[in-house]
């Protein structure tokens, strides 16, 4: 069977009058039906841009330079080369997205009822009475105790946790095949975060919806995902199952991320941090590994030649020269380099 979402060699450029800067490069992701897939990395690594490219919501200064975003639902569609009219039929019905900040994602001038039912008006042919009932039932499913009152409320009248629940209800009301969650718990306290993550897992299982979870929090990935891609400076540097990434990380960047978490619980050790900062697109190396300037294992080769994505174990890929002896180059990566 074809994967539900198949992203191949996706590259995104920032277009200026003087020069184009590459922001996301050669991203390859496969998500099967009902899979929970995570993308993790520091701020500025290209996670959110990848999700916006899937939703066809990139700002005008950003352009998909090459690659394909294949969605396999009722028919196969390349979302990287689809018209705006066709994308409006897909967005909300086949793919939905929960944005980072629910207060800015919800329009303060309209009631929750208006915004929640708008998705149904666009994609379905229910009567007003039927749509209202579906909206109330959806608010109940996301754990809102007084749905009839909340339907009449405006966003500013709700707490942060309730606004996020409304956003989840809006995203799932048409039962899409894929839900993209971009930092869905960032603005919430720890207790509400746990409730929201549990709720997303329950609703995903209930509606057979695949989830693409985008976050900088490895704890969120561990709680919600089956498979994870680690992004750095616009590239995927490691991909595997969540268990393998946490138990046997292969890429130096992933090891650094996990070390910084583990050191939090050890009061006898100094808090670990990866030296330096994520480079900006104008600082990306044209040759070599983008992590080389921060990597404790960097060799001369790392600054002169970009590594391939190596298969270090079954179903475990790492983009690092350290694995040139123990692994073999991933087929898509090696073919692209030869071409």
| pLDDT tens figures, 92-145 | 899 999 887 766 788 999 999 999 999 999 998 899 999 999 999 999 988 898
- The pLDDT-based confidence of 187 (bands split at 50, 70, 90) is low
User: How far apart are the C-alpha atoms of 303 and 289, rounded to whole Å?
Assistant: 6
Burial class (CB in 10 A: 0-12, 13-18, 19+), 314: exposed
pLDDT value, residue 325: 64
Torsion angles phi and psi, residue 156, rounded to 5: -70, -15
pLDDT value, residue 254: 95
Distances (CA, A) of 239 to 158, 210, 313, 319: 38, 18, 11, 9
pLDDT value, residue 339: 42
Domain extent listing, the chain: 103-175, 248-274+287-338
Does residue 227 carry a pLDDT above 90?
Answer: yes
Does residue 13 carry a pLDDT above 70?
Answer: yes
pLDDT value, residue 286: 74
Mean pLDDT of the chain: 88
Q: Whole-model pTM?
A: 0.89
| pLDDT tens figures, 55-95 | 999 998 999 999 999 999 888 899 999 999 999 999 989 99
- The pLDDT-based confidence of 338 (bands split at 50, 70, 90) is very low
User: For 254-268, what is the mean pLDDT?
Assistant: 75
User: For 319-328, what is the mean pLDDT?
Assistant: 76
- For residue 268, the SS3 value is coil
> To which H or E segment does residue 149 belong?
helix 147-152
Angle between helices 128-141 and 112-123 (to 10 degrees): 120
User: Which residue in the block uniquely carries the two structure tokens 């229910």?
Assistant: 126
CB 12 within 8 A of CB 53: yes
User: How far apart are the C-alpha atoms of 296 and 274, rounded to whole Å?
Assistant: 9
pLDDT value, residue 70: 96
Instruction: Give percent of the chain with pLDDT exceeding 90.
Output: 56
Q: What is the DSSP letter of 61?
A: T
Torsion angles phi and psi, residue 145, rounded to 5: -75, -35
Query: Which residues are CB-contacts of 184 (< 8 A; sequence separation ≥ 6)?
Result: 98, 100, 164, 167, 168, 196, 200, 213
User: Which residue in the block uniquely carries the two structure tokens 């030869």?
Assistant: 338
* Poorest-pLDDT segment among 265-269, 279-283, 317-321: 265-269
CB 218 within 8 A of CB 261: yes
- The pLDDT-based confidence of 233 (bands split at 50, 70, 90) is very high
Q: What is the DSSP letter of 155?
A: G
User: For 189-214, what is the mean pLDDT?
Assistant: 86
């Amino acid at each position: 069977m074809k994967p539900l979402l198949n992203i191949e060699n996706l590259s995104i450029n920032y277009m200026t009058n003087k020069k184009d800067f590459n922001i996301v490069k050669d991203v390859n992701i496969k998500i099967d039906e009902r899979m929970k897939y995570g993308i993790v990395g520091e701020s500025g690594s290209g996670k959110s841009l990848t999700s916006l490219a899937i939703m066809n919501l990139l700002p005008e200064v950003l352009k998909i330079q090459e690659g394909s975003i294949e969605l396999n639902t009722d028919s196969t569609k390349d979302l990287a080369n689809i018209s705006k009219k066709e994308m409006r039929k897909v967005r909300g019905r086949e793919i939905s997205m929960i944005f980072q900040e629910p207060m800015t994602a919800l329009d303060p001038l309209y009631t929750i009822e208006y915004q929640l039912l708008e998705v149904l008006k666009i994609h379905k042919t229910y009567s007003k009475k039927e749509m209202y009932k579906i909206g109330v039932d959806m608010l109940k499913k996301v754990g809102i105790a007084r749905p009839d009152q909340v339907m009449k409320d405006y966003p500013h009248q709700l707490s942060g946790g309730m606004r996020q629940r409304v956003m989840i209800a809006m995203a799932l009301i048409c039962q899409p095949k894929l839900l993209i969650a971009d930092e869905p718990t960032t603005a919430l306290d720890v207790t509400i975060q746990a409730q929201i993550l549990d709720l997303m897992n329950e609703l995903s299982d209930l509606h057979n919806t695949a989830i693409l979870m985008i976050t900088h929090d490895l704890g969120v990935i561990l709680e919600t995902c089956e498979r994870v891609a680690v992004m750095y400076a616009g590239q995927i540097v490691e991909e595997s199952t969540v268990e393998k990434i946490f138990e046997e990380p292969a890429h130096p960047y992933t090891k650094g991320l996990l070390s910084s978490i583990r050191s939090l619980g050890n009061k006898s050790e100094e808090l670990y941090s990866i030296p330096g900062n994520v480079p900006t697109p104008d600082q990306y190396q044209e040759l070599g590994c983008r992590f080389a300037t921060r990597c404790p294992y960097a060799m001369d080769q790392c600054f002169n030649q970009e590594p391939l994505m190596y298969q270090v174990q079954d179903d475990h890929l790492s983009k690092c020269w350290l694995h040139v002896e123990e692994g073999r180059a991933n087929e898509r990566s090696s073919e692209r380099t030869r071409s």
